[in-house]
Structure 1
Amino acid sequence: MPSKSKYPNLPIPDVDLWAFLFERKDKPYADDKVIYFDPYTKRSYTYAQVKDVAINFGKGLKALWDWQKGDVLALYTPNCIDTPAITWGCHWAGGILSPANPNYTVEELAFQLKDSGAKAVVTQLPFIKNAQEAAKQVGIPLDRVIVMGDQRDSTYQVKHFTSIINTAGTSRWRRTKATNPTEDLAFLVYSSGTTGHPKGVMLTHRNIVANTMMIKAAEAGRLQPTGGPTGEGDKLLAFLPFFHIYGLTCLVHQSLYTGLQLVVMPKFDLEDFCRFIQDLKITFAYVVPPIVLLLSKHPSISKYDLSSIRMMNSGAAPLTKELVEAVYSRLNIPVKQGYGLSETSPTTHTQPWEDWDKTIGSVGTMLPYQTAKYMSADEKEMPIGEVGELWIKGPNVFKGYLNNPKGTAHALTADGYFKTGDVGYQDKDGNFYITDRVKELIKYKGFQVPPAELEGILVSHPKVLDAAVIGFYDKEQATEIPRAYVVPRDGLGKTEQDAKEIADWLSAKVTHHKKLRGGVRFVDEIPKSVSGKILRRLLRVKAQEEEESKAKARL
């Protein structure tokens, strides 16, 4: 039988995002509470200011660009406290927001603009050149490429979004509501695209409303808009990218709905991260495993007082028991784990606060309104404790992939389950475990080797800063074998003897088929996506080049 949630089923309002956030009758905090705060410029938005700016931006879209229901606005920018108002202004006008990675090249951005059918682009001045070039390539008029943020410059003759607000005009403009929140899209987010082109994930208004309520059910009574030692309520530190669904839902939407102050960083910087926690008394942070790794090992951490943090929540990639224990031992900061995907809006599971130390390594229990099951390769449901692919069904599951019916048909079953592509199992108490991606599993002579498990052990080695494990095909053994790429800590050399020492150390901790038969290679850094996922495909290319080089040397 598919598993169901133990959390309470809080009612999911059958409304669009604007009504959910700005027309509610149960807001537990005042309109003048500061929700978004920029610690660098000290600029901020209260709830009332976000609402007012969003309405006027939405009016401006209608007045200037004849904005219609279903039009797409692309957002090509790092985190900025203007993002929420622009996002919901787009929704007020009936539009769909499509956030893009600011690290995209012109070609990558042009692909998303074309695929999403974007009608306009909002960016920041440092990114204006790429944004304009990509817009030209897909036929978006340059007067529809505008900027947000604090920097203004006449060099590019580009409008600031506030100029659109100032030309909003009369009160004749009315909000365009989503006629069907279950079907009407709110966001087009693009998957990280580890293979081929990124896929446009179609998320409806109901998807995001449902997931915000699901997160609220899990964090009920824990994250508060008022009270606590400072009386200001909980403060969250936001460095996770808002163009990624993790940051978009858990940070941007949750903070406004619950009334939490969000301290917005444009990108992660370790010293600033620690300084803001210390100086602004941050109480909660959503993080990713690479940050947890830094907290466990980086020497700079010791200079700061991080004691205001009550909890961290890690997601986006597997987090190992060794890392959680290392951070708690060093800093006395608990780290719970959650799980989700772009296609599930994103959060499907999280560890309860009170159980974070009882089920370390688990992604927690399932959030409400969902059912889930683990399935075998031949699509038979696996019993408790048996490993399979996780399938999930619920109101947070996406509508499908844009312009990709084949991909949608492959991902969604006829009865509404989403095939996550993640491998794991469930224990008898309803805790879920994710061991790896289906495609990442290394097949050694019929045995399955999860890279994430080996990586978790490797980073607990005192002389290892970071690690990634991949499988590559070994012709002599006629099978895939695991190889580790390791970032060494200061003091560890890069000799064959050092590599053998690490491989032997790991061998003593794992079963026979999980040994690093492909050896250990030293690198300066592990390639990762913005959400912290290891880009193993880049390491596979590296491994192939190494093997080809070795083969030539033998000739």
Structure 2
Amino acid sequence: MPTEASYWPRVDIPDKDLWAVLFERNDRPYPDDKVIYVDPYTKRSYTYDQCKNTAIDFGKGLRAIWDWKKGDVLALYTPNCIDTPPIMWGTLWAGGVISPANPGYTPDELAFQLKDSGAKGVVTQWPFLENARKAAQIAGLPQDRIILMGDQRDPQQLVKHFTSIRNTSGATRYRKVRVKPVDDLAFLVYSSGTTGHPKGVMLTHRNVVSNLLMLTAAEKPHLSHNSGSDRSGDRILAFLPFFHIYGLNCLIHNCFYNGLLMVVMPKFDLESFCKLVQDYKITFVYIVPPVVLMLSKHPIIDKYDLSSIRMMNSGAAPLTKEIQQAVWKRLKLPVKQGYGLSETSPTTHTQPWEEWDKTIGSVGRMIPNQTAKYMSPEEKEVPVGEVGELWIKGPNIFKGYLNNPEGTRNALTNDGYFKTGDVGYQDKDGNFFITDRVKELIKYKGFQVPPAELEGLLASHDKVNDVAVIGLYNKDQATEVPRAYIVLARGVQPGPQTEKEIVEWTASKVANHKRLRGGVKFVDEIPKSVSGKILRRVLKEKAKAEEEKGLKAKL
């Protein structure tokens, strides 16, 4: 039987759009002048009231200058910025849909998203304007549909800044557009596929509202808008990208709904991260495994006081118990783990604060209003304790993939379950474990080898700074074998002796089928996505190219 979420009580999901839930509530636990978003570099900030007024003005301006209609899409091509929330919510006020794009995209990659989403405009920052212009041209989007956000303006005033759109004359006559929360989209986020183009994940207002309230039910008992001796409340450091649903809902919406101060970093930098934690006395951080790994090993950490952190929550990729334990041993900082996907808006599981050290390695318990089951390759439910693919059902499950009915059919069952593509199991106490992606499992002679499990083990080795494991087909053995790509700790010399030491050390700690029969390769850097996921396909392409080069050398 599917497991129902029961650790936290169910929450009532109102039939309201995201704007109404954020701005038309009677139970807001903080005042209008509460500062929510802070740019620590420019010292600019937004209070609740400033966010609301800026959003309404921007929404009115959109309708006035672009004849904006319900369902129109606005793309955001920008690093993290405190202007993102009011621009985003102003678009929703006007009945629009937000489609955030990775600022690392090339013009061609951005153009694909602009075309696929049908974007009517794009907001960017000055350093990214040239790429946005090229992408707009490729996508057939008029150049006057590009606007700027952030602190820099166009010195020639050829491109409008969003603040000028806020002040458009004649805009005062417009009113908020009504939307249907169950049917109408709030966000169109693009998930990075392992092959082909990214897929547009359609998230309705109900999806996002549901997940915000479900997440709040799990986190709010521990977070406060006015806790602490100075009564200023919990402070969250935000470096996770706002173009990812993790950053959108867990950071932007969570902080705003619950009245938490959010210090915004445009991108991650370890020393800046440490300094801001120390200067702002950060109490909670949403984080990703590569950063947790740095906290466990990097020498720069010792220069700063990070003791204000009460909890960190890791997501986006599996975090192994070895890394969690290493951070606790070094810094006495707790790291709990959560789980979610773009298609689930995103959070589905999190470790309760009080259980982070009792179920290390688990992604925790299901947050309210969901059911889940683990399924065999034959799509039969497996018993508790057995490994299978995780399927989830709830009000946070996405509407489908844009312009991709086949992908939608493959992902969603007729009775509403989403096939996550992630492999794991649950224990008898309702704790869920994610071991790897279905497509990334290494198949050694019929045995399944989860790369993430080996990565967690190898990361605990003193001579290893970072690691990725992939499966490579070995013709002599007629099977896939695991190979580790390793970034060595400072001062450690690469070579046959170091490789032999690591291979033998691993063999002493794992079952026979999990040994590194593909050997070890030493590299300067592990390729990762901005959300912290290891890009194993890049390593596989590298290995394939090296193999072809070796074969040619022998001919």
**TM-score between the two structures when normalised by the length of structure 1:** 0.99
CA contact (8 A) 1:57 1:168 kept: no
Could you say what secondary structure the match of 2:409 adopts?
helix
CA contact (8 A) 1:73 1:98 kept: yes
Shift of 1:478: 0.6
CA contact (8 A) 2:154 2:160 kept: no
2:107 and 2:545 map into 1 onto residues whose CA distance is 28
Shift of 1:227: 2.0
2:499 and 2:169 map into 1 onto residues whose CA distance is 64
Shift of 1:544: 1.1
Correspondence 1:61-460 to 2 at 5 A: 61-155=62-156, 157-178=158-179, 180-460=180-460
CA contact (8 A) 1:76 1:123 kept: yes
2:379 and 2:169 map into 1 onto residues whose CA distance is 54
Shift of 1:170: 4.7
One-letter amino acid matched to 1:350: T
Deviations along 1:313-338, one digit per CA (max 9) or x if unpaired, are 00000000000000011111000000
2:170 and 2:149 map into 1 onto residues whose CA distance is 20
Deviations along 1:410-452, one digit per CA (max 9) or x if unpaired, are 0000000000000000000000000000000000000000000
One-letter amino acid matched to 1:119: K
Match of residue 500 from structure 2? 500
The answer to whether the aligner puts 1:23 opposite 2:24 as a matched pair is: yes
CA contact (8 A) 1:240 1:267 kept: yes
Match of residue 547 from structure 1? 547
Query: Which deviates the most, 146-155 or 283-292?
Result: 146-155
Residues 545, 81 of structure 1: alpha-carbon distance in 2 compared, 3 angstrom cutoff: same
Give ranges in structure 1 of 5+ residues lacking alignment. none
One-letter amino acid matched to 1:153: D
Could you say what secondary structure the match of 1:154 adopts?
coil
Give ranges in structure 2 of 5+ residues lacking alignment. none
CA contact (8 A) 1:239 1:266 kept: yes
Shift of 1:230: 2.4
1:541 and 1:263 map into 2 onto residues whose CA distance is 38
Residues 104, 170 of structure 1: alpha-carbon distance in 2 compared, 3 angstrom cutoff: closer
One-letter amino acid matched to 1:200: G
**TM-score between the two structures when normalised by the length of structure 2:** 0.99
One-letter amino acid matched to 1:88: W
1:204 and 1:124 map into 2 onto residues whose CA distance is 27
Shift of 1:169: 3.0
Deviations along 1:462-482, one digit per CA (max 9) or x if unpaired, are 010000000011111110011
1:426 and 1:476 map into 2 onto residues whose CA distance is 37
CA contact (8 A) 2:220 2:258 kept: no
CA contact (8 A) 2:18 2:209 kept: yes
One-letter amino acid matched to 1:291: V
1:318 and 1:168 map into 2 onto residues whose CA distance is 51
Correspondence 1:4-23 to 2 at 5 A: 4-6=4-6, 7-23=8-24
Match of residue 55 from structure 1? 56
Structure 1: which 4+ aligned runs deviate by more than 3 Å? 552-555
Could you say what secondary structure the match of 2:390 adopts?
strand
Shift of 1:29: 0.4
CA contact (8 A) 2:11 2:369 kept: no
Shift of 1:155: 4.1
1:269 and 1:491 map into 2 onto residues whose CA distance is 22
Could you say what secondary structure the match of 1:484 adopts?
strand
Match of residue 40 from structure 1? 41
Match of residue 518 from structure 1? 518
Match of residue 487 from structure 1? 487
CA contact (8 A) 1:56 1:168 kept: no
CA contact (8 A) 1:59 1:168 kept: no
CA contact (8 A) 1:374 1:381 kept: yes
Could you say what secondary structure the match of 1:434 adopts?
strand
1:168 and 1:499 map into 2 onto residues whose CA distance is 68
Identity over the aligned pairs, expressed in percent? 72
2:159 and 2:251 map into 1 onto residues whose CA distance is 29
CA contact (8 A) 2:212 2:250 kept: yes
RMSD after superposition? 0.9
One-letter amino acid matched to 1:271: E
1:156 and 1:535 map into 2 onto residues whose CA distance is 40
2:316 and 2:409 map into 1 onto residues whose CA distance is 24
